[in-house]
Chains A and B, each alone.
Chain A
Amino acid sequence: MNILKWTTFPVLVLVIVMAVINSVLTPGFLTMSSLSGFLGSYAPLVCAAVGSAVVLFGGGIDISLGSIVCLVNVVFITMQGYGWNVLTSAALAVLVGVGVGALNGFVIGFLRVNPLLTTFSTSSVAAGVALWIMPTPGGQASMDFVTWYNGNWLGIPTPVYFIAVVWLLWLFLSKTPIGIWLYALGCDERKAFASAISVAWLQFFTYVFAALATGIGAIALTGSVGSGDPLVGLPISLNAIAACVIGGISLMGGRGDSFGAILGALFLGLVSTTVLAAHVPPFYQDLVSGVIVLLGVIGSVSLSRKPKLVS
């Protein structure tokens, strides 16, 4: 395979560059404990980015993932507040998130409404419900769970398992015909329909999968922050998409792979850590990281494709 044609190649370079810069700025960055902390903070974004990528493969877009994170986080914490155990409340919370995904999938796949506008509306619905359940930040996740999440499990940092579950779930699905159909759908919806592919169900599936992946990410996020906050996930909506674009996944559909999304999310995380590690004055941190991400996207996009005027 021609490495320059590999859509994930640019982001791989970006991640390596940022990792090198980071380890120079913070000598201990590449140690296990530091990496574990880093992954703990960014596993939620990675999970959401994989979900977002699957929607993008099929030619859709989902900007409701951040709100789904908020909703799952709030439900999870609330259930625990009622004394449910971690596993049950986590499962229920993820299920609620998947419900939002199913709503997305139904409206987009079967009612054929524009995905951007649909997920925009449902993000308001999900965020509204989160805010309704928990108007102000509060609650407490079980200490056992928080300790478990921020430590190692079987010798590997726990956040890695969250990423692995989501990614393996997708890899599993991509080895079934769904993987082929999805890229076909992203390439051309009408041809996919004419080729006897169930377009509506496939679209439905992508949004449900995205919600599931994001829900799992939201559980990780709860482990990372340890409490409930109805606004905690909002930046994820758009960061997950930014991660995909940096990872070489086309917004037009049918192009890119999920590994790119993971690296894209890690790149965004590395940018934030680098800005912190470089002792940028606090008021300039947002600006600097914004500009770095912008440069990263410019680099990734101009490496992976040339803007074509007329085909």
Chain B
Amino acid sequence: MTLLSFNDVDLSFSRYDGLLTAREIPILKRISFSLKCGEVVALIGASGGGKSLIAHALFGILPPNALIRGDIRFDGQRVDDGSRPSLLGRRMALVPQSISHLDPLARCFQQLRWAARRAGLRVNDAALVAMLTHFGLDARAAQAFPHQLSGGMARRMLMAIATVGNPDLIVADEPTSGLDDDNAAIVLSKLKSMADAGKGVLLITHSLATALAYADSVCLVRQGRVEGVERAEAFEGCGQGLSSDYARALWHALPQNGFRVTGDA
């Protein structure tokens, strides 16, 4: 079942050109992709290519000068300002890119409680503690302020907060940035296990090697466009199974492959 789909979504920013005239600067062009339940889809691309903006467009957290056109659907329903309140934190949740999204002045457990309340849940503290244990976080981590957590623990805390409302779709924006390999593997396996349990996972990352180990399919974004959607297992050998040139170029640029710059980077 298709859980999320972007259909020809355009995004532009309006910027003042002089005092009175505003100019529209196109950022995302005709973005289309879809994601099914039980699937991990990776959005891959260069930094500055617009990957995070795709997530921000979905969650309605773009800056006020953003103009968005096209159709975003979640579970058949159009995602817009009218439908978002019943979806956000309840049916779909974002694990933000930076751990600075945690409130520095509140203890982590309090932030988890707030998230549960925002999702409309009446859960007791014991259930929340059990949930943290599930993410490998103990009572000390719960009582800590965000700055007292290591990078890996803070990231797991963000995931716990995002998933407390038991959403059907989890969007994780660069969930492994700043983490060492062991912690990255913990976070990614967690996301993978959510997909195995029937959720949809959209994994935004710049690391092709990371994505291939965990994703079912890979959507390649470059300069605001979708350059192709590939099955993860097509990235093998000399890339003969890949349909787009960009995918092949990325594959050959990996240090473990050719480390070659082909086409225009």
Q: Please indicate whether A and B come from the same complex rather than being unrelated chains.
A: no
Residues of A within 8 A of B (CB): none
